[in-house]
Amino acid sequence: MATRTTTGVTHYHVQKKRRAALLEEWRQYRNTVVRLGDVTMHDTARGMRRGVYVSADGDRPTRTMDALAHEVDPGAVSTVHRHSWDAMLLVVAGWGWTEIDGRRIDWGPGDSLHLPAWAWHRHGNEGTETARFLSFSSEPMLETMGMAFQEDGGHTPVEQLPPRPPYAASIDGDDPYARRIRRLAKDQDARRSGRLHTSWDDLELLQTPRGTRTTFLLDRAIGYQASGITMAMFEIGPGRGQSMHRHPGEAWLYVLEGSGHTFLGTEPDKGEVHPWEKGDIIVVDHFLWHQHFNDDPEKTAKVVRIHMFDSLLETMRILTDPLVLFEEPPDAIRDAQAGDYSTIEWPPLQRPTWP
């Protein structure tokens, strides 16, 4: 069957105009620092409050990840729901629990959790103070592909809810179909047996050549099986800075403790300085050179970094090879920026406080 255009212009002109319009619209949404004070909390049908750092639901759209804040009052239990995307949680205040497919996990400030795709989950607070946590999910990426679905189960007991979608078990054979069945079954077996919780009490921060000490919170290196979202924390010494680097994609940094500033520039010596403080999210995008500094001369600053490195960025690196998509300055410059971090006296690791 023949197809005819009714636009009066060529395929070339239609696509060029559409792509230019999309990019121009997208540039209007960009933020550099989302302040804690700009995140308004709203009551929701789930029995808890929600606020938006970055998401189309708060008129701050994004293409790969979103960042939300959640609060659970003392004595409250949320409804149970599930979705086709996965999410990472970072607890910043209070004590509570999360139930994932019937498994209860108790948590406190500084803990982190993984909510796998299609896993039923709810949250509760049996304490005396409001609990607060952030979530970082891959919902925008799945929405782009038309694969974002959400289901609410109210207060139905988890044993009465349908399980996660089934999948075919491995079969014998060396034909392409059998090989695909085995490959996908192996992937789902791994994803449904991944780690779900990192306790703050189990963290160990190690020094790096970039002038900070760091640890994984949620990452495949420590047993998690996620869609590519990774979460790590780094600590900057008093009055010190992290060495410079750059990469594409959306990378966010949540300020868990402290205050400071971030340099963002198209060149290592051409850019702007953006101040930040506890509770803010720093948005690093546009393949900019960036460097983070702790402005407090006496206390360290703790920053949690979230990005889609293990899926989206790795795919981009393969598709655009030989372009370099993660870049640091030469070692000599990096070491000069980091300084002699062996002289830093790192304090004992204590759970974060709020506010």
Do 208 and 335 share a structural domain? yes
What pLDDT is attached to residue 125?
98
In a domain, 236, yes or no: yes
Structure tokens at 106: 């108790």
Phi/psi for 294 (5° steps) reads -95, 120
189-198: pLDDT as tens digits: 999 999 999 9
- The Cα 133–Cα 123 span in angstroms is 11
Output 327 or 184, whichever has higher pLDDT.
184
151 shares its domain with 201: no
**């930040």: which residue's tokens?**
276
pLDDT of residue 167: 95
- Report which secondary-structure segment, H or E, holds 319: helix 314-319
- The domain total for the chain is 2
Give the integer Cα–Cα distance in Å for 121 and 102.
8
204-256 pLDDT per residue, tens: 999 988 889 999 999 999 999 998 899 999 999 999 999 999 887 778 899 99
Rounded Cα distance between 206 and 212, Å, is 8
Q: What is the mean pLDDT of residues 10-24?
A: 76
339 pLDDT band (50/70/90 cuts)?
Answer: confident
The pLDDT tens digits of the residues spanning 275-289 come to: 999 999 998 877 889
Per the structure block, which two tokens stand in for 118? 């299609």
Range of the domain at 335: 197-343
Cα distances from 106 to residues 91, 132, 251, 268, 276, in angstroms, run 11, 14, 28, 44, 31
**Amino acid of residue 100:** I
pLDDT at residue 31 in the model = 64
State the chain's mean pLDDT as an integer: 91
In tens, the pLDDT along 60-107 reads 888 889 999 999 999 999 999 999 999 999 999 999 999 999 999 999
Q: How confident is the model at residue 14 (pLDDT cuts 50, 70, 90)?
A: confident
User: Position of tokens 């300085």?
Assistant: 273
Domain-embedded: residue 166: no
pTM, 2 dp: 0.91
User: Does residue 242 fall inside a structural domain?
Assistant: yes
The verdict on residue 182 lying in a domain is no
